Structure 1
Amino acid sequence: MDDLGLPSVFRVGEFAAWAVSAAHTQAAAFFATRNGLPAAPQVRVGVREAAIAFRSERYLRVDGEAAFEWAPLSGDYEAADGWVRLHCNFEHHAEIACRVLGVPQERAAVEAAVRRRGRFELEDAIADAGGVAAAMRTRAEWVAHPQSAAVGGRPVVAMGALAGGGVFGGQAGRSGGGGRAGAGVGAESGAEAVGDSAAGSAARLADESFGGSAGEPAPGWGAGSVGRLVGERAAGLAAGSATRPLSGIRVLDLTRIIAGPNAGRVLAGYGADVTMVRSPLLPTIRGLDLDLNVGKALRFLDLRSDAGREAFLDLVREADIVLQSYRPGALAGLGLGPADLAAVKPNLVHVSISAYGPDGPWGGRRGFDSLVQMAVGIAEEGMRAAGSERPVPLPAQVLDHGAGWLAAAGAIEALRRGGGLAVEVSLAGVGHALDAFGRLDPAVGLAVADPTLSDVDDLLLRGPSAAGTLTRVRFPGSVAGATLGWAGPPPHA
Structure 2
Amino acid sequence: MRLVGDERVVAGPYRVAHLAARCVGLVTEAAGELSRSRGTEPGPVSVDVRHAAESFRSERHLLLDGAPVGDLWAPLSGDYRARDGWVRLHCNYPHHEAAVRTVLGDDVAAAVAARDADDVVESVLAAGGAAAALRSPAAWADHPQGRAVAALPVVTVERVGDGPRRTLPRADRPLAGVRVLDLTHVIAGPVCGRTLAAHGADVLHIGAQHLPVMRPVLVDTGFGKRSARLDLRESEDSARLRDLWADADVMVQSYRPDSLASKGFGPSDAPQGTVLVTLSAYGEVGPWRGRRGFDSLLQLATGIAYRDSDAPVPLPAQALDHGTGWLAALGVITALRRRAAVGGTWHVRVSLARTALWLDSLGRVDSVEDQAPVDAYLSEVDSQLGRVRHVRVPGDLPGAPPRWDHGPHVPGSDPATWW
Q: Answer whether TM exceeds 0.5 for this pair.
A: yes
**1:248-285 CA deviation, whole Å, 9 max, x = no partner?**
00000000110000000000000100000112211111
* Whole-angstrom distance in 1 between the partners of 2:160 and 2:188: 21
Give the aligned partner of residue 8 of structure 2: 4
TM-score by length of 2: 0.92
* Whole-angstrom distance in 2 between the partners of 1:365 and 1:336: 19
What amino acid maps onto 2:103 in structure 1?
A: V
* Whole-angstrom distance in 1 between the partners of 2:239 and 2:379: 39
* Whole-angstrom distance in 2 between the partners of 1:267 and 1:410: 11
Q: 2:323 aligns with which of 363, 387, 402?
A: 402
* Whole-angstrom distance in 1 between the partners of 2:34 and 2:94: 42
2:291 is the alignment partner of 1:365 = yes
Give the aligned partner of residue 203 of structure 2: 274
* Whole-angstrom distance in 1 between the partners of 2:294 and 2:238: 27
* Whole-angstrom distance in 2 between the partners of 1:162 and 1:285: 33
- Preserved contact between residue 243 and residue 483 of structure 1 (Cα < 8 Å): no
1:36: Cα distance to partner?
6.5
What amino acid maps onto 1:149 in structure 2?
A: R
**1:63-111 CA deviation, whole Å, 9 max, x = no partner?**
222224210000101111111000000000000111112x13xxxx111
- The SS at the match of 2:306 is helix
- The SS at the match of 2:410 is coil
TM-score by length of 1: 0.79
* Whole-angstrom distance in 2 between the partners of 1:405 and 1:121: 34
- Preserved contact between residue 184 and residue 254 of structure 2 (Cα < 8 Å): yes
Give the aligned partner of residue 263 of structure 1: 192
- Preserved contact between residue 7 and residue 15 of structure 2 (Cα < 8 Å): no
**1:352-380 CA deviation, whole Å, 9 max, x = no partner?**
00000111110000100000000000111
Give the aligned partner of residue 404 of structure 2: 486
Paired residues, number: 402
What amino acid maps onto 2:35 in structure 1?
A: F
Gaps of 5+ in 1: 165-219, 231-237
- Preserved contact between residue 5 and residue 12 of structure 1 (Cα < 8 Å): no
Equivalent positions of 1:167-178 (< 5 A) are none
Equivalent positions of 1:7-46 (< 5 A) are 7-35=11-39, 41-46=43-48
Q: 1:391 aligns with which of 312, 330, 339?
A: 312
1:163: Cα distance to partner?
4.6
1:460: Cα distance to partner?
0.1
Q: Which moved more, 1:52-61 or 1:480-489?
A: 480-489
Gaps of 5+ in 2: 412-419
Give the aligned partner of residue 295 of structure 1: 224
- The SS at the match of 1:276 is strand
1:17: Cα distance to partner?
0.5
- The SS at the match of 2:374 is helix
What amino acid maps onto 2:100 in structure 1?
A: A
* Whole-angstrom distance in 2 between the partners of 1:428 and 1:397: 13
Q: 1:477 aligns with which of 395, 399, 403?
A: 395
- Preserved contact between residue 30 and residue 226 of structure 1 (Cα < 8 Å): no
* Whole-angstrom distance in 1 between the partners of 2:7 and 2:194: 25
User: For the aligned residues, what is the CA RMSD?
Assistant: 1.8
- Preserved contact between residue 385 and residue 409 of structure 2 (Cα < 8 Å): no
Q: Which moved more, 1:87-96 or 1:413-422?
A: 413-422
Give the aligned partner of residue 416 of structure 2: none
Give the aligned partner of residue 79 of structure 1: 82
1:483: Cα distance to partner?
2.7
Give the aligned partner of residue 94 of structure 1: 97
Give the aligned partner of residue 236 of structure 2: 307
* Whole-angstrom distance in 2 between the partners of 1:457 and 1:328: 39
Q: Could you say if the C-alpha distance between residues 303 and 156 of structure 1 is closer, same or farther in structure 2, counting changes exceeding 3 Å?
A: same
Q: Which moved more, 1:11-20 or 1:153-162?
A: 153-162
